[in-house]
Chain A
Amino acid sequence: MKEKLVGRLVEALREAATVLPVDVVRALEAARDKEVGPARVQLEAILENVCLAKDNGVPICQDTGTQTFFVRVGTAFPYLEELRTAIPEAVRRATQEVPLRPNTVHPFTKKNPGDNTGRFIPYVTWELVPGDSAEIHLLPKGGGSENCCKLTMLTPAVGIPGVKEVVVEHIANCRGLPCPPTVVGVGVGGGADLSLKLGKLALLRPVGERHPEPEVAALEAELEEMINSLGIGPMGLGGKTTVLAVHVEYAHRHPASLPLGIVVQCWADRRAHVVISPKGEITLTGDA
């Protein structure tokens, strides 16, 4: 089972690096149709690049990112140990086979192991859920957009209007750096670490899908409208499209704190999804 898992996870890593999810492609196409001048040139180049990468099976961007796994695993899932050990092995193999750029560096010695693994990396978060299957979301994330993430500990008195102000101002300050049009994940509440994690989890939702709760969905729409009226545009060269979507997630907060985590994802919003059944059947998004 472990060998089979490693093989399928390598395929998922390849898919994430080379095939942009269809919801992101649709959003980029819609943006292209709205733009003129340099903004349109950028979006046309992006879409041509996406096609080339898919057709030739090569990475969409030379920054193939840090490999990040969000695992939701049933408490009765039978292959827990196999899955735990298969993940770093798949990352090592994918680095050679796809290939992925070796991006992990020791912060003190600057040594690069050359296989995208290292202390705590690949980053895996485990969530226990009822049931006997497992579901994995892969999110390889590039350095340029990760450098634009931000944590703010707000005074609760500023409330949601304060949240809006900080998000819009932060994206305005980022200009073209995170390779817009971006997808922005906003985490509200929880705590310092949880708010950023919520921001990242928000990125797993397909572009164009709103949060199920109406107040949260309304905030997403309002933030999108505000940010897109800034005029930053694709690559910061001016235009109507600065974000493809804003996704908000929340957790209950301490009465004295209002943590706000802003996570920025570049236009190459690369993701893959894997489901493992208790019988050992492994399904990838790309199988469909």
Chain B
Amino acid sequence: MERVFETPIAEERIRKLEAGDVIYVSGIIFTARDEAHKVLLERGEPFPLEGLALFHCGPVVRKRGEAWEVIAAGPTTSMRMESLEPRFLRKFKPRVIIGKGGMGAGTLKALVEVGAVYCHFTGGAGALAARAIKGVREVHYLEELGIPEAIWVFEVERFGPLVVAMDSHGRSLYAEVGAVVQKNLEKIRARTKEG
């Protein structure tokens, strides 16, 4: 099922999503990598994050006069945020996490508790992401963290496609694919041994 989710997103809508669904997000998404997670957890949110989408991303941006222009903004590897994400989810309640590569058991548990989903955006699709970003509303901690690590607040329209890879019912496509890969690897090993 393909649906567009307008931020702020209510918990009930997220609870209806299942692993494998494809969604798009319109409204506000903010970026945060490891350093930004730490800063927000220590100093609190600069604006209400509940119901928004959190994007694991370090964008390529260029300043045109006073305005920022986003040139490419694909996702970064989410697993680097695993040690911080469960606390982040419980404290700020973003409803959608956007990244690549998936996250671990701690985050999956927090998604179930809070009522949020983890979505996979195609790794490397930086131009496609930039097209959906209509403007930069704010940027936080730019001086302190630098361009890739700063907290960028984007206005987006139909940002996606986003594959729901970890849902709020405890299903993770990564865990499921991992089990399949392990089984297939055993089969290949048995085959090469015979050969």
Chain B neighbourhood of A41, CB < 8 A: 22, 161, 163
CA distance A231 to B127 in the complex (A): 27
- Range class of the B interface residue count: 35 or more
Q: What is the total of A-B residue contacts with beta carbons within 8 Å?
A: 139
- Range class of the A interface residue count: 35 or more
B1 contacts partner chain A, Cβ-Cβ < 8 Å: no
Of the listed stretches B45-53, B88-96, B110-118, B171-179, name the one at the interface; the rest are far from the partner chain.
Answer: B171-179
Interface SS of chain B: mixed
B124 contacts partner chain A, Cβ-Cβ < 8 Å: yes
Chain B neighbourhood of A176, CB < 8 A: 100-102, 123, 174, 177
B120 CB contact (under 8 Å) in A49, A230, A237: A237
Output the least CB separation between A77 and chain B (Å): 36
CA distance A161 to B191 in the complex (A): 11
Of the listed stretches A8-16, A57-65, A82-90, A197-205, name the one at the interface; the rest are far from the partner chain.
Answer: A57-65
**Contact bitstring B117-138, A, C-beta under 8 A = 1, else 0:** 0001011111110110000000
Determine whether the beta carbon of B127 is less than 8 Å from that of A46.
Answer: no
Output the least CB separation between B72 and chain A (Å): 4
Given contacts A49-B128, A61-B126, contact A165 B184 (CB under 8 A): no
Chain A positions 63-109 with a Cβ under 8 Å from a chain B Cβ: 63-64, 99, 101
Given contacts A48-B128, A52-B128, A62-B60, contact A266 B123 (CB under 8 A): yes
Chain B positions 4-49 with a Cβ under 8 Å from a chain A Cβ: 20, 22
CA distance A60 to B123 in the complex (A): 11
Chain B positions 67-115 with a Cβ under 8 Å from a chain A Cβ: 71-74, 77, 100-102
Output the least CB separation between A50 and chain B (Å): 8
Chain A neighbourhood of B165, CB < 8 A: 38, 237
Determine whether the beta carbon of A53 is less than 8 Å from that of B127.
Answer: yes
A175 contacts partner chain B, Cβ-Cβ < 8 Å: yes
- 14 other contacts beyond A53-B127, A176-B123, A230-B181, with CB at 8 A cut-off? A44-B161, A46-B122, A53-B126, A62-B71, A142-B124, A172-B184, A175-B177, A230-B184, A230-B188, A231-B181, A235-B120, A236-B174, A236-B177, A267-B124
Top-7 shortest CB links A-B: A62-B72, A179-B123, A49-B125, A62-B126, A49-B128, A61-B124, A45-B122
